[in-house]
Amino acid sequence: MNTLEEGYLLRIFIGESDRHEHHPLYEQIVLKARAAGLAGATVYRGVMGFGKNSTVHTAKILRLSEDLPMVVEIVDSLERVEKFLPVLDVLIADGLVTLEKTKVIHYKARE
């Protein structure tokens, strides 16, 4: 049995070398999201990208970057995501955050 409900996708764009209190920023975001009781978080490492300063970061062997693009995605209710935003204000010094409405399908094991 599966259920369909409305949710919100919080997407956080940062760099692999970004830090908060000497720890990887993506790691701190995930740990804070877990502590806040959010439904879940996933971190993706990009193979290539650029941001507002137009510097291209790539994983190509000849241009090995130590600052690959990272994306943290969190899906939960609007209320829970909005409650988490002030935590991001403390953690993120430079980055981009998007928030969008999404449909959430929960799959549950069949009996």
- Does residue 26 have a pLDDT over 70? yes
Q: Is the pTM of this model over 0.75?
A: yes
* CATH number of the domain located at residue range(s) 2-107 in this protein: 3.30.70.120
The full set of domain ranges for the chain reads 2-107
Dihedral in degrees, nearest 10, Cα atoms 98, 77, 109, 107: -50
5-25 confidence digits (pLDDT tens): 999 999 999 999 899 999 999
For residue 8, give the H/E element and its range: strand 2-15
53-109 confidence digits (pLDDT tens): 666 666 665 555 567 899 999 999 999 999 999 999 999 998 899 999 999 998 887
